[in-house]
Structure 1
Amino acid sequence: MKQLFGCFLIFFSAIIHALPTHQFFPEGHPFDPNIPTPESVIGVEIGQWHLRHDQLIRYISLVAERSERLQLEKIGETHQKRSLYLLKVSSAGNLAKLSHIQAQHRQALMSPSFRTTEDKAIVWMGYSVHGDEASGSNAVAPLVYYLAASQSETVSQWLDKMVILIDPSLNPDGMDRFANWVNMHRSTVPNPDPVNREHVQGWIRGRVNHYWFDLNRDWLLLQHPESRARVAQFHQWKPTVLTDSHEMGSNSSFFFQPGIPSRKNPLTPQKNVELTKKLATYHAKALDEKKQLYFTEESFDDFYFGKGSTYPDINGSVGILFEQGSSRGHAKQVEHGVLTFTQAIQNQITTSLSTLKGSFENRLVLLNYQSKFYEESREQAEQDKMAGYLVDTEGDLYRTQAFLSILAQHQIQAYPLTKDYEGKQKTYHQENTYFIPLKQAQYRLIKALFMTQTNFKDNSFYDVSAWTLPYAFDFPFEVVKRRASVSFAAHPWEAQSKNTFPEFNSEHAAYGIRWNNSAAAKAVHSLLSQRLYLKVASQEFTATTPTGEQTFAAGTVFLPAGLQKIPTNQLHVILIKTMETYGVAIEPISSALTSKGIDLGSSSAYALKQPKVLIVGGKQTNPYEAGEVWHYLDIHLGISPTIVELDRLHKIQLSHYTHVVMVDGNYQGISEALTEKVMRWVKQGGVLWGQRKAAKWLAQQGLLKMSFKGQPELNKLFPGNTVRYAQQDDHASKKRIAGAIFATQIDTSNPLGFGLQEEALPVFKRGTFSFKPHAFGAVNVATYQEKPLLSGFTAKPYQKALSGQTVLAAHKLGRGQVIAFADNPVFRGFWYGSSRLLGNAIFFGHILDTPGD
Structure 2
Amino acid sequence: MRLRVLPLFFWLVVLMGSAPLLAQTIQTPAQFLGYNLGERFTPHSQIVRYLEYLAGQAPQRMQVQTYGHTYEGRPLLLATLSSEENFSNREVIRTNNLKRIGLLPGQATGKQPVIVWLSYNVHGNEAVSSEAVMQVLYNLVTGSTPEIKKWLQNTLVLIDPCVNPDGRDRYTNWYNQVANQLPNVSPLAREHQEPWPGGRTNHYLFDLNRDWAWQTQQETQQRIVVYNQWMPQVHADFHEMGPEAPYYFSPAAKPFHEAITPWQRQFQQIIGENNRKYFDKNNWLYFTRETYDLLYPSYGDTWPTFNGAIAMTYEQGGGGRAGRAITKTDGDTLTLSQRIAHHYAASLATIEAASDHQEQVLQEYQKYYQQARTNPTGTYKTYVLKAQGQPGKMQQLTAYLNQQQIKYGYATQKSSNFGFNYSTGKSENLKIEPNDLVISLYQPKSTLLKVLFDPNTKLEDSLTYDITSWAIPYAYGLPAYGLKNRLSKVAEQPLNVALKPATTTTVAAPYAYLARYNSLNDLQFLTALLNKNVKVRFSEKAFEAAGEQYAPGTLIITRTGNARLNATFDVLVKAQADSFGVKLVSSPTGFVSSGVDFGSTSVRSVRKAKIGLLAGDGISSTAFGEIWYFFEQQIHYPVTVLSTENFNRVPWQQLDVLILPDGSYSDLFDEKGLTQLKAWVRAGGKVIALEGAAAHLAGKRDFSLSKRKFTDSLDFKKDPYRALKRYGDAERNALSELVQGGIYRVTLDNSHPLAFGYGPTHFALIQEVNDYPFMQQGWNVGVLKKDSYANGFTGSKVKKRLQDSLVFGTQEMGRGQIIYLANNPLFRAFWHSGKLMFGNAIFMVGQ
Is TM > 0.5 for Structure 1 vs Structure 2? Answer: yes
Counterpart of 1:173? Answer: 166
CA distance in 2, matches of 1:710, 1:134: 43
**Residue 393 of structure 1 contacts residue 432 of structure 1 at CA under 8 Å; is this kept in 2?**
no
- Structure 1, residues 179-199: CA drift from partner, whole Å, max 9, x if none? 111111122122122122222
Counterpart of 2:447? Answer: 444
Q: What is the CA-CA distance between 1:277 and the residue it aligns to?
A: 1.0
Residue type at the aligned position of 1:410: Q
Counterpart of 1:804? Answer: 804
Counterpart of 1:4? Answer: none
CA distance in 2, matches of 1:376, 1:459: 29
Counterpart of 2:728? Answer: 726
3-state DSSP class of the match of 1:728?
helix
CA distance in 1, matches of 2:165, 2:102: 33
3-state DSSP class of the match of 1:489?
strand
Residues 565 and 48 of structure 1, relative CA distance in 2, 3 Å threshold: farther
Counterpart of 1:143? Answer: 136
Residue type at the aligned position of 1:318: I
Counterpart of 1:368? Answer: 363
**Residue 591 of structure 2 contacts residue 598 of structure 2 at CA under 8 Å; is this kept in 1?**
yes
3-state DSSP class of the match of 1:731?
helix
CA distance in 1, matches of 2:40, 2:433: 60
> Once structures 1 and 2 are overlaid, which stretch shifts more, 364-373 or 128-137?
364-373
1:76-87 equivalences under 5 Å are: 76-87=68-79
Question: Is 1:252 aligned to 2:227, yes or no?
Answer: no
> Once structures 1 and 2 are overlaid, which stretch shifts more, 510-519 or 351-360?
510-519
CA RMSD of aligned residues (A): 2.5
Residues 830 and 16 of structure 1, relative CA distance in 2, 3 Å threshold: same
Counterpart of 1:679? Answer: 678
Residue type at the aligned position of 1:183: N
Counterpart of 1:740? Answer: 742
Residues 712 and 385 of structure 1, relative CA distance in 2, 3 Å threshold: closer
Residues 663 and 815 of structure 1, relative CA distance in 2, 3 Å threshold: same
Residues 404 and 505 of structure 1, relative CA distance in 2, 3 Å threshold: closer
Equivalent position to 1:308, from 272, 279, 300: 300
Residue type at the aligned position of 2:334: L
Residues 735 and 151 of structure 1, relative CA distance in 2, 3 Å threshold: closer
1:537-548 equivalences under 5 Å are: 537-543=539-545, 548=546
CA distance in 2, matches of 1:431, 1:775: 47
Question: Is 1:406 aligned to 2:400, yes or no?
Answer: yes
- Structure 1, residues 433-472: CA drift from partner, whole Å, max 9, x if none? 2111111122221211112226633111111111111101
**Which consecutive residues of structure 2, in runs of 5 or more, have no partner in the other structure?**
419-427
- Structure 1, residues 202-226: CA drift from partner, whole Å, max 9, x if none? 2111110111110101111111122
Counterpart of 1:658? Answer: 656
Residues 696 and 720 of structure 1, relative CA distance in 2, 3 Å threshold: farther
Counterpart of 2:755? Answer: 753
Residues 735 and 384 of structure 1, relative CA distance in 2, 3 Å threshold: closer
**Which consecutive residues of structure 1, in runs of 5 or more, have no partner in the other structure?**
1-7, 848-853
Residues 15 and 795 of structure 1, relative CA distance in 2, 3 Å threshold: closer
Counterpart of 2:422? Answer: none
Residues 400 and 702 of structure 1, relative CA distance in 2, 3 Å threshold: farther
1:547-696 equivalences under 5 Å are: 548-669=546-667, 670-696=669-695
Q: What is the CA-CA distance between 1:120 and the residue it aligns to?
A: 0.8
Counterpart of 1:530? Answer: 532
Q: What is the CA-CA distance between 1:158 and the residue it aligns to?
A: 1.4
Residues 154 and 137 of structure 1, relative CA distance in 2, 3 Å threshold: same
> Once structures 1 and 2 are overlaid, which stretch shifts more, 759-768 or 636-645?
636-645
Residues 15 and 607 of structure 1, relative CA distance in 2, 3 Å threshold: closer
CA distance in 2, matches of 1:714, 1:318: 49
**Residue 707 of structure 1 contacts residue 771 of structure 1 at CA under 8 Å; is this kept in 2?**
yes
Using the aligned pairs only, state the percent identity: 26
CA distance in 2, matches of 1:246, 1:715: 46
3-state DSSP class of the match of 1:801?
coil
- Structure 1, residues 782-841: CA drift from partner, whole Å, max 9, x if none? 111421221111134533432232211112111111111221111110111022111101
Q: What is the CA-CA distance between 1:781 and the residue it aligns to?
A: 0.4
Residue type at the aligned position of 1:64: A
**Residue 507 of structure 2 contacts residue 587 of structure 2 at CA under 8 Å; is this kept in 1?**
no
Residue type at the aligned position of 1:294: Y
Residue type at the aligned position of 2:227: F
3-state DSSP class of the match of 1:708?
coil
Counterpart of 2:387? Answer: 393
CA distance in 2, matches of 1:714, 1:820: 31
Question: Is 1:355 aligned to 2:350, yes or no?
Answer: yes
Q: What is the CA-CA distance between 1:572 and the residue it aligns to?
A: 2.2
> Once structures 1 and 2 are overlaid, which stretch shifts more, 621-630 or 107-116?
107-116
CA distance in 1, matches of 2:785, 2:339: 49
CA distance in 2, matches of 1:620, 1:775: 30
CA distance in 2, matches of 1:556, 1:714: 51
CA distance in 2, matches of 1:380, 1:711: 50
Question: Is 1:134 aligned to 2:136, yes or no?
Answer: no
Q: What is the CA-CA distance between 1:45 and the residue it aligns to?
A: 2.3
Q: What is the CA-CA distance between 1:150 and the residue it aligns to?
A: 2.8
Residues 580 and 714 of structure 1, relative CA distance in 2, 3 Å threshold: farther
Counterpart of 2:518? Answer: 516
**Residue 596 of structure 2 contacts residue 602 of structure 2 at CA under 8 Å; is this kept in 1?**
yes
Question: Is 1:93 aligned to 2:63, yes or no?
Answer: no
Residue type at the aligned position of 1:372: K
3-state DSSP class of the match of 1:271?
helix
**Residue 372 of structure 2 contacts residue 447 of structure 2 at CA under 8 Å; is this kept in 1?**
yes
Residues 143 and 528 of structure 1, relative CA distance in 2, 3 Å threshold: same
3-state DSSP class of the match of 1:810?
strand
3-state DSSP class of the match of 2:467?
coil
CA distance in 2, matches of 1:49, 1:502: 60
CA distance in 1, matches of 2:714, 2:141: 59
Residues 300 and 151 of structure 1, relative CA distance in 2, 3 Å threshold: closer
Equivalent position to 2:184, from 188, 191, 197: 191
Counterpart of 1:102? Answer: 94
Residues 53 and 703 of structure 1, relative CA distance in 2, 3 Å threshold: farther
**Residue 515 of structure 1 contacts residue 557 of structure 1 at CA under 8 Å; is this kept in 2?**
yes
CA distance in 2, matches of 1:793, 1:96: 50
Counterpart of 1:850? Answer: none
Q: How many residues align?
A: 828
Residue type at the aligned position of 1:82: R
Q: What is the CA-CA distance between 1:603 and the residue it aligns to?
A: 0.7
Residues 367 and 556 of structure 1, relative CA distance in 2, 3 Å threshold: same
Residue type at the aligned position of 1:351: A
**Residue 519 of structure 2 contacts residue 836 of structure 2 at CA under 8 Å; is this kept in 1?**
no
**Residue 709 of structure 1 contacts residue 769 of structure 1 at CA under 8 Å; is this kept in 2?**
no
CA distance in 2, matches of 1:715, 1:393: 50
Q: What is the CA-CA distance between 1:357 and the residue it aligns to?
A: 1.5
